[in-house]
Chains A and B, each alone.
Chain A
Amino acid sequence: MKRIAIAAAVTLFTAGCDRGILDPVGPVAAAEKQILINSTAIMLAIIIPTMIATVAFAWWFRRGNSKATYRPDWEYSGAIEMVVWAIPALTIMLLGGIAWIGSHDLEPSKPLASKVAPLKVDVVSLDWKWLFIYPDQGIATVNQLVVPAGTPVSFRLTSATVWNVFWVPQMGTMIYTMPRMATRLNLQADRQGSFNGLSGHFSGDGFPGMQFKVQSLPPDQFAMWAQGASGSGLKLDGAGYAELSKPSSYVKPMTYGAVAPALFDAIVANRAPPNPVPPPQHNQPVPGSKA
């Protein structure tokens, strides 16, 4: 019985090790997983002995144990103090170095080193779905991000409503989408396949349905897909965007064959049609005139 339980636990655990952030599909996610594992190992080397010592000290020095020496007044040892300050300090120095180097290597806005020119994608979080605009291809998709495998993807991200987090666990770094601001992110999927994406920041009632799929295709297939998409009849113009912005959740993937120019910038500037339009500002100085 016990053996079955252990076997079941082991299976469950190992089955759990090849998913999500533990199964990276690109260089960013792989590097981050490596840092996660290295740092955990470094800390466990300190923590496991500490845990064993906790139980061992408590048990050996239990009141009933006549073999243990009672030292009722022992309350200070310079040598031990030195060691107990040194152990965490040295660990943190090591981990601090990892953090410093890792933060710089994996800074989200830093373009990925690659011979292939990056694909540009503009991401907009809406209530409650994801809009992906491909400015160079002139197409857009909803809740479906198609990328060419092995090609860096350079994202600009914003939100047309409240905050969200753009997160594809298997591709690595997540980042906030914030209204009136654009963040930057660079990711890459080397493996072909379909990966889950979601919002990692609560954004209201439709939040759990704010999921999307990432399709990583071979580059030639991606080109074909993009071409096919531009033949799609749906247009993301003012009216189309106003329709899309209406709150909805668990939205099926859609493709737009044409996108109004500079839509992303308009959304960042809050000039896109459906949003709460700023009230007319009568007292604003005319540009160029003296206020």
Chain B
Amino acid sequence: MTLFGRLTWGAVPFNEPIPLITSLVVILALAGVAAWITKIRGWPYLWNEYITSTDHKRIGIMYIVLALVMLVRGFADAIMMRAQQSLAIGASQGYLPPEHYNQIFSAHGTIMIFFVAMPFVIGFMNFVVPLQLGVRDVAFPTLNNVSFWLTASGALLVNLSLVLGEFARTGWLGFPPLSEKAFSPGVGVDYYLVALQISGIGTVLTGVNFVTTILKTRAPGMSYLRMPVFCWTSLASNLLIIAAFPVLTVTLALLMLDRYLGFHFFTNDGGGNSMLYMNLIWVWGHPEVYILVLPAFGIYSEVVSTFSGKPLFGYRSMVFATLAICIISFMVWLHHFFTMGSGADVNAIFGIASMIIGVPTGVKIYNWLFTMYGGRVRFTVPMHYAIGFMLTFVIGGLTGILLAIPPVDFIVHNSLFLVAHFHQVIIGGVVFAVMAGYTYWFPKAFGFTLDERLGKAVFWCWFIGFHLAFMPLYVLGFWGATRRMQHISDPTWAPWLNVAFVGSAIIGIGIVLTVVQLLYSIRTRDQRRDVTGDPWDGRTLEWLTLSPPPHYNFAVLPDVHGEEAYWTRKQTAIKEDRLIDEPHYQPIEMPLNTPVGVICAFFASVCGFAVIWYIWWLAILGLIGAFAALVWYAWRDEHEHIIPIEEVRANARERRRIRMEHLHELSQSV
């Protein structure tokens, strides 16, 4: 046993140009950003306003920044795969050997689900839910900060595998026995397991936090059936997190016991059974799909209603549909392996249960449709995404139901048809939603809107790029193409693979344009200020407060009457040409900043890294460090700081003045 366990200079990919150059570029880019922050003396600001912040809005923004950065990484993996499959046809082996290609598709899946889609939706839940509920923060603000940093810690470890060692070569779900020590002796699977364990803890804490927030802290009068649909879908999603993520933790822990301590849960020998892993991982994996897509449905509900200038059609029906999906999604996991030979009854029952989810989902589509009916639809960027989603998602639903019919699944299971299907529902459902949400709530977060023209260009890149990239995969699936092929034997597949490559390149242009849009919008922010706090003529409480909102969100918690809290208030004010009477202001208690999250996550990363490389003394040190940080935090003397009444009052009066002006404008335009 050496001091550094399995870690040697051999772990650095000196003789593999692609990962080596990529790592160097990433390291240089990070150093450049750090130098720039140092130059503008931005560290204290970052530390105080973001890194140690317990403000749900700041934490939400950090989640979304993490998601955007990791989207670039996940996309780089995607375009490399597409390039390989376009090149490695027939006699050519392409530019990626199997041991590299297999890491790339595993990393792509892991990153896109755990470190892009999850942080994106959790970011929106963080930013939006407390504002929509009319409260000042989540139930456990410090825990929220810890959650974020643990997620970031997982992302860090996944990316570290690029520089030191390798990532898993087993696919994003790490199926044993391939992921067992006998078949994957390297550190790749350990990176995968440890990164997901650490970020998984963060996700469970988020689930606990948001379920508590939504159930226990709402503005006065905000009964359950007055909550905006985004809050409902967030509640459903977090209930699923609480129920499903512990299953993932246990499943991965069992695999870790196999790999580290020679247990036999999923091995070929010693009585292990790999079918058990398949069941367990999908007991988590299928609800995970709905953890992502339910908040996405929530975003579409807000967007369609706002930009149609109407309340959501069939609100109660929507709520019921959401909860139905939440519950049924736990009863369908077996449809991921109809081809295991479970028998006709089992297959048929799980197949039908899976299809039943199509009913509430279909209802949602119709309710958005009838929300537009009789409306005044404004074709803004978020509305583009919403309509693009409705058109794309119904096809994804169709192919999903096909996959749920066992005899059809028997011929398309695991094929590129499946790959096309789940990208259609995840890009068409989740990615379109987060891009819509990004545009929709950006002015609330930063006080200015994003450029509309560039936003539409980004939308068309995603919309056209998606269809070009994935429609060919349906065809190839019919032709008998399976997934995860580092080399293609049949040269007649080339045209479709090339179309798919072009599609992914167009998505790439969209991602570049997203960055351009952001930079351009920052440069021209003075022309696009949102002074009213209500740039879209919104209907929910986040538009009641300033853009960006003060740390405490609302000077006084709003009184809620009826389903659309802010819309009702706004209409009354316009009609009566006055705001409600000035309330009685009070000093506000807010939680203090704390570095405990980042310190804990630092030690968790150290511990994780040490476990991956078998550096046991360092692992113990990391564990002690993380624990000590929590103990230190528990012994703190000061819990909160008080925002003085003068400050609250002054801000609130300024806000009332602006709102009054804005309402005058609105009443004149009516």
Residues in A lying within 8 Å of B, measured CB to CB: 12-13, 16, 19-22, 29, 31-33, 35-36, 39-40, 43-44, 47, 50-51, 53-55, 57-58, 61-63, 68-77, 80-81, 84-85, 87-89, 91-92, 95-96, 98-100, 102-110, 161-163, 165, 167, 169-170, 172-176, 178-181, 183-185, 196, 198-209, 211, 270, 275-279
Contact = CB atoms under 8 A, between A and B. Distances in A.
Closest 10 CB pairs of A and B: A169-B480, A88-B362, A71-B374, A20-B480, A84-B366, A103-B348, A102-B407, A20-B479, A107-B344, A173-B410
Nearest to A102: B407
A206 B394 contact: no
A89 to B, nearest CB: 5
A91 B402 CA distance: 13
B464 interface: no
Contacts of B383: 58
B411 A103 contact: no
A176 B482 contact: no
A138 to B, nearest CB: 27
A75 B475 contact: no
A200 B363 contact: no
Name the residue in A35, A196, A275 with the highest tally of chain B Cβ atoms < 10 Å from its Cβ.
A35
A211 B99 CA distance: 19
Given A40-B402, A174-B411, A176-B337, 17 more contacts: A12-B495, A19-B479, A43-B398, A51-B394, A58-B379, A61-B308, A61-B376, A61-B377, A62-B377, A75-B315, A91-B358, A165-B414, A167-B480, A173-B411, A202-B171, A276-B269, A279-B270
Interface residues of B, number: 94
Contacts of B481: 20
Name the residue in B99, B268, B413 with the highest tally of chain A Cβ atoms < 10 Å from its Cβ.
B268
Contact of B359 (A40, A92, A276): A92
B314 interface: yes
A184 B339 CA distance: 11
Contact of B410 (A108, A161, A202): A108
Given A75-B314, A204-B178, A92 B358 contact: yes
B415 interface: yes
A87 B366 CA distance: 10
Contacts of B550: none
Given A81-B314, A96-B352, A207-B98, A61 B405 contact: no
16 contacts: A12-B495, A47-B398, A61-B375, A61-B376, A88-B358, A99-B348, A102-B407, A103-B407, A104-B344, A169-B411, A170-B480, A172-B410, A173-B339, A173-B411, A179-B268, A198-B482
A174 B275 contact: no
Contacts of A169: 411, 479-480
Contacts, number: 295
Contacts of B414: 165, 174, 200-201
Contacts of B365: 50
A63 B373 contact: no
A70 B370 contact: no
Interface in B277-332: 308-315, 317
A169 B416 CA distance: 13
B408 A32 contact: yes
A206 B485 CA distance: 10
Contacts of B371: 75
Name the residue in B315, B337, B374, B412 with the highest tally of chain A Cβ atoms < 10 Å from its Cβ.
B374
Contacts of A103: 344-345, 347-348, 351, 406-407
Contact of A208 (B171, B413, B478, B486): B486
B347 A21 contact: no
Nearest to B177: A162
Interface string B85-110: 00000000000001100100000000
B483 interface: yes
Q: Give the secondary structure class of A's interface.
A: mixed
Nearest to A43: B398
B175 interface: yes
A99 B355 contact: yes
A160 B428 CA distance: 40
Contacts of B590: none
B352 to A, nearest CB: 4
A101 to B, nearest CB: 9
Contacts of A63: 309, 376-378
A106 B407 CA distance: 6
Contacts of B314: 75-76, 80-81, 84
B623 interface: no
Contacts of A13: 475
A100 B401 CA distance: 13
B218 to A, nearest CB: 22
Contacts of A57: 369, 372-373, 377
A144 to B, nearest CB: 15
Contacts of B339: 108, 165, 173-176, 200
Interface string B408-446: 101111110000000000000000000000000000000
Contacts of A199: 482
A160 to B, nearest CB: 9
B408 A16 contact: no
B407 A74 contact: no
A279 B289 CA distance: 41
Given A21-B480, A32-B407, A180-B273, A100 B352 contact: yes
Contacts of B410: 32, 106, 108, 172-175
Given A39-B401, A174-B410, A75 B485 contact: no
Interface in B392-407: 394-395, 397-398, 401-402, 404-407
B175 A163 contact: yes
B511 to A, nearest CB: 26
B643 interface: no
A77 B311 CA distance: 13
A185 B490 CA distance: 26
Contact of B355 (A21, A69, A92): A92
Given A88-B362, A276-B269, A163 B352 contact: no
A145 to B, nearest CB: 15
B372 A181 contact: no
Contact of A163 (B177, B315, B372): B177
Contacts of A47: 394-395, 397-398
B217 interface: no
B169 A204 contact: yes
